[in-house]
Structure 1
């Protein structure tokens, strides 16, 4: 499978309880840092449980990554919600092209210096070079990290790293994601040990870039085959249409309500057209005879 720019994870809530699902990413590999925090990437509103497949949450994951930076009122740690002060779109290094490199400073606030320097990022990663514009201990809790777009198109922290003066960091994102549920906000640092059951979705070797899972009443996630997922989606749409129209039963897949009525209408129009044509022909013949 070619590397797509987006992935989709759909959760069908059939657990028997309402849940607010959230998405976060695998911790990226970061050089020269012993502390890398995972942040909530997407936090969805709560959805009810239904057994007809109509209660779904779809996470659309845009894997255009960003370098992010900022400061925090609190030291980085579990449940601390942080926001970015500055961000830059980055390109990961490949065998043919080096990845984005950024110079980070705290002069004028945490930010990336422009213009960007010549790319030197390693294969599969990008580079952030911190200057010495601040010192330790750091009461501003300065951080750098990996960012991405949330459900609303805002760039939010996906992984954060405490920044130290004069250090160069190489970051390597991983295309592996997790879904869980709970009350979170985007950018919040999480402790995976405090979460409930987690669904791991690894797209690095997946045959598809869109997957569907049922969250069942055993608090487990069961993957749905792509063909079955499409069938459930069609049934769900048919059920919602029937409910909207006030019908007691949704039409079977492949059968369109009103089909016979439409066919009869076309046949009637065809008969009228033929009768009109015959009438006009008679009128023309009569006119020719008179002439």
Structure 2
């Protein structure tokens, strides 16, 4: 019993300083990591770095520093870091093989953060989804569709596919086509269509809207109507122009052809 007590005292004398030192390093390290991460985030805020990128890089830096601190604390307790590193490497390989898809999404998220093909608030079209980017996370990107559905797109597929960013250039062109009767006067029709565009305050004057004859179809003369708008006004101008063109053409007595044969069959 006396021998066990002596050995316990020896162990305490040997390891107590190591444990105290390790705890001190752990507490001071966590405190310093918190300060460093907060400082880096403040620097990124001053540099007007995207909010999503700030959070992503801040979290990544925090976890990396904590992993380094953990290894340091373990080494102070007398654990061999070489064997510990080998265990971590083997575990990392196993986890990597099991989470190939997640790692691909992580890499895709990193590429999106670095190259910034879009940012939060942009209107994009990708992976068969069109909508406004709500949030860019490490593994997925959240997009709100026009009918207010939330689409969650994996970053791996998103970064490797085609992305159309409607917001990037700041302006969009609306492509509309209206057909009128062959009896209609082309010059008068163009003036009416242009008046509809220029009377709408949401239609931009630079670039200027255009109205041109695009096709001589079987039963109509088709006009390509091309107004330019801010991204936020796209659908407003689209629907307003369609409605106002119909009203203006009716008022001028210009016919919009429709399939009469179908109407006759319905009556019969």
* TM-score, scaled relative to structure 2: 0.21
Higher relative contact order, structure no. (Cα contacts within 8 Å, ≥ 6 residues apart): 1
Q: Which has the larger radius of gyration?
A: 2
Query: Higher helix proportion, which one?
Result: 2
